[in-house]
Amino acid sequence: MGYQPELVGGHLLLDLLNTVSWRLDDSRWIDRLSTPAALADWCAAVGLSATTRSTTSTAVLEEVARVRETAYAVIRALARGEEPAEAELEAMRVLLVEALSRAKPVGACPLDWATDELPVMLVLAAAKLLEHEDLSRLRECQDDDCGWLFLDRSKNGSRRWCSSADCGNRARAKRHYQRVRAGQS
């Protein structure tokens, strides 16, 4: 069975950033987009396969990884309420300029950009996220090692976990274990 991504980010770009598991733990860090086939699976899951071409080459895979890691640095800082580093913003700006030079303008009002190149599409998705989404809703999963990002669309803005079935469940199990241990001593 191929790669079946968990789409919990609430935005295409965040779902891309979440294709690395255990991002904050070097010993467990896993890149789920490690093969062109996995990238093709991801595109199908997020509904991009029909609009992109040549998603299955290693060159595209490398470009997608570059977009992902560059965007992650900026967006994670914002999720933590921090100012992204100047070098990270500059790297994002370079990607955006490059993407716009490869995209075609469509429509007059509002102006939008069209492309069938996956990396370009993803950079434009990052720009849209940064420009149009309510970034006060941007969150990082509270698990120490997870590092996944999402838009908290809950009414009271109280979502803490990428997935309540996954990181949330583990945290509950950990708290339970600690309570049991505390009760025993």
Question: For residues 47 and 157, which CB has a smaller minimum distance to Zn ion in the complex?
Answer: 157
Question: For residues 32 and 102, which CB has a smaller minimum distance to Zn ion in the complex?
Answer: 32
Question: For residues 20 and 162, which CB has a smaller minimum distance to Zn ion in the complex?
Answer: 162
Give the C-alpha separation, 11 to 133, whole Å. 9
Shortest Å distance, C-beta 9 to Zn ion: 11
Shortest Å distance, C-beta 18 to Zn ion: 9
Shortest Å distance, C-beta 133 to Zn ion: 20
Strands 112-114 and 104-106: antiparallel
Question: For residues 120 and 162, which CB has a smaller minimum distance to Zn ion in the complex?
Answer: 162
The two tokens of residue 1 are 């069975």
The three-state secondary structure class of 104 is strand
Question: For residues 158 and 184, which CB has a smaller minimum distance to Zn ion in the complex?
Answer: 158
The burial class, CB within 10 Å (0-12 / 13-18 / 19+), for 12 is middle
Residues forming the site for Zn ion (CB under 5 A): 141, 143, 146, 148, 162, 167
Picking from 76, 18, 75, the residue whose alpha carbon sits closest to that of residue 45 is 18
Longest alpha-carbon distance in the chain: 70
Shortest Å distance, C-beta 112 to Zn ion: 33
Shortest Å distance, C-beta 8 to Zn ion: 8
Give the C-alpha separation, 111 to 104, whole Å. 10
Give the C-alpha separation, 138 to 2, whole Å. 29
